[in-house]
């Protein structure tokens, strides 16, 4: 949305696509914006600025004529004025949005993700109170309430939240009623397993905490269990290859309960000999996590595959990883997905195990690991029935 509006303004000079995005939602900002724009127009009378165009395409086509007419310095002045007022407006906008918590696009629940849980998050925010039935409010209450939350983070598989008092956190049964696949508690750290949508939930939680909206208290022991629709299996077989040269092991042997207990779904793992990680299936890259240690794939038959490199490697902030694909890219079985610096991972005291998990568990009828032990990358080692 932002990109398309910016391109329209850049090419045509019509500013309404941007202005209408905040004109009514953040009126104080628009009033300041109008004054700054007026000052920018007034500068044409204060300095030599005898050029005019509707958008940058027209500006470029008129530039040769302006130079021939002796208006070269006017063009320079035009560029300087544009840069000065553009930078000034950026800092003014940034300050006002943060200072006054303005509801510009994407903030304070002022967004539409197409996900019912997210839509519910702040549906009552105009009334000053969040929707008690939304998934985000349930999660915040499971964490002991807003005051008990110290830090909110996430990786490709789970929410990672630090709390002040671990005794106030709901038990695993309550978390599962709120849609979690599992719960791990370490000290004051809470890891709630939600799969690839964990990062989206993190953003929604942080948005609600920052919004200033009242978050109603709910009884976490009385949560209704999320209903799952009946699934009819497709009768399709998917063959899945190993992602790296090395020892293929059952997922139950992974040194992380989120994977070994199959909270993220069934699958297998590889103890890699080198850092080249290949696609185990043909399909679409649905997500590359910002720290590049994990990514999601979707096959044509609907199998969702998570490739996760290393254990707790999200804390390395992407340093040992180089992604070779991007979101929305089509890949074939055996295409290079990413390169990992295994020595750097080991130096950070992390395990290098690569996990392949099939995350749409409700649609997976069975997983058969056909080969284990030493295997070459791109070798078919598993069969998944949908």
Residues 6+ apart with CB under 8 A from 116: none
Q: Please pick, among 155, 159, 258, 263, the residue that the annotation labels catalytic.
A: 155
Are the CB atoms for 161 and 149 separated by under 8 Å? yes
| Opening angle at CA 320, ends 352 and 328, nearest 5 | 95
Helix (H, G, I), strand (E, B) or coil at 37: helix
Strands (E), the chain: 149-154, 158-163, 182-186, 189-193, 237-241, 246-250, 267-272, 276-278, 283-288, 294-298, 304-309, 321-323, 330-331, 336-340, 354-358, 366-369, 373-375, 380-385
Widest CA span in the chain: 78
- In the residue annotation, 323 being an active-site residue is answered as no
Helix (H, G, I), strand (E, B) or coil at 164: coil
Q: How far is CA 158 from CA 138, 180, 261, 284, 362, in A?
A: 16, 9, 14, 22, 18
CA-CA distance, 150 to 159, in Å (whole number)? 13
CA-CA distance, 214 to 172, in Å (whole number)? 26
CA-CA distance, 195 to 182, in Å (whole number)? 10
Q: What string of DSSP letters covers 300-357?
A: TT--EEEEEESSSGGGGTTTTEEE---TT-EE-TT-EEEEE-HHHHHHTT----EEEE
Sign of CA dihedral 127, 132, 136, 137: positive
Burial of 328 by CB count in 10 Å (0-12 exposed, 13-18 middle, 19+ buried)? exposed
Residues annotated as part of the active site: 155
């Amino acid at each position: 949305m932002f990109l398309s509006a910016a391109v329209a303004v850049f090419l045509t000079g019509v500013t309404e696509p941007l202005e209408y995005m905040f004109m009514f939602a953040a009126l104080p900002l628009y009033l300041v914006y109008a004054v700054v724009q007026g000052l920018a127009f007034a500068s044409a009378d204060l300095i030599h600025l005898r050029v005019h165009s509707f958008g940058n395409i027209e500006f470029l086509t008129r530039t040769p004529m302006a130079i021939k007419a002796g208006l070269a310095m006017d063009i320079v002045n035009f560029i300087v004025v544009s840069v000065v007022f553009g930078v000034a407006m950026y800092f003014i906008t940034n300050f006002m949005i943060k200072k006054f918590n303005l509801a510009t696009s994407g903030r304070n629940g002022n967004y539409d993700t197409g996900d019912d849980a997210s839509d519910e998050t702040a549906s009552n925010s105009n009334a000053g109170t969040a929707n008690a039935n939304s998934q985000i409010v349930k999660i915040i209450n499971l964490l002991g309430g807003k005051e008990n939350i110290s830090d909110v983070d996430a990786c490709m598989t789970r929410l990672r939240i630090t709390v002040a008092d671990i005794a106030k956190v709901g038990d695993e049964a309550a978390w599962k009623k709120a849609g979690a696949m599992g719960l791990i508690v370490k000290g004051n750290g809470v890891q709630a397993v939600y799969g690839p949508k964990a990062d989206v939930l993190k953003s929604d939680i942080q948005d609600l905490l920052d919004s200033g909206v009242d978050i109603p208290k709910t009884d976490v022991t009385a949560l209704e269990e999320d209903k799952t629709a009946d699934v009819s299996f497709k009768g399709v077989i998917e063959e899945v290859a190993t992602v790296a040269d090395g020892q293929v092991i059952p997922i139950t042997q992974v040194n992380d309960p989120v994977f070994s207990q199959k909270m993220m779904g069934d699958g297998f793992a590889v103890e890699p000999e080198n850092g080249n990680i290949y696609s185990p299936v043909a399909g679409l890259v649905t997500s590359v996590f910002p720290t590049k240690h994990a990514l999601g794939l979707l096959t044509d038959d609907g199998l969702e595959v998570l490739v996760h490199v290393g254990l707790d490697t999200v804390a390395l902030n992407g340093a040992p990883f180089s992604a070779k694909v991007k979101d929305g890219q089509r890949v074939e079985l055996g295409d290079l997905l990413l390169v990992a610096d295994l020595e750097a991972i080991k130096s950070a005291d992390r395990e290098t195990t690569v996990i392949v998990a099939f995350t749409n568990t409700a649609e997976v009828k069975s997983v058969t690991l056909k080969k284990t032990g030493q295997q070459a990358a791109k070798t078919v080692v598993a069969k998944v029935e949908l």
